[in-house]
Amino acid sequence: MIAESFARIFYRNALNIGLPIIESAEATRGIEAGDEVEVDLAGGVVRNLTKGTEYSFPPLTGMAAELVEAGGLKALVREKLG
């Protein structure tokens, strides 16, 4: 999900269910309905393949990245507890 900003509680809940959250005002202004986009979460880049443009964002790191990679909090806890 890409937006200019998110309420902190929504942001946290999204990460807890493994939903990648990207805050990028320039991407939301540059992407239109029907555009094909590609997101590099680790690299912090959104590519608009339709228009040939790129937008950067702060990549997820630490626990946020772990949560998304694992598929959410429940999956991460299962993984850690074995």
Band of pLDDT at residue 82, cut at 50, 70 and 90: confident
Domain residue spans in the chain?
2-81
Residues 5-23 have pLDDT tens digits of 999 999 999 999 999 999 9
**CATH homologous superfamily of domain 2-81?**
Aconitase, domain 4 (3.20.19.10)
Average pLDDT of 38-57?
96
**In the prediction, which pLDDT does 48 show?**
98
Average pLDDT of 21-31?
95
Is the pTM for the entire model greater than 0.85?
Answer: no
**What 3-state class would DSSP assign to 44?**
coil
Res 78 pLDDT > 90: yes
Which distant-in-sequence residues (6+ apart) come within 8 Å of 54 by Cβ?
45, 46, 47, 48
The DSSP output letter for 51 is T
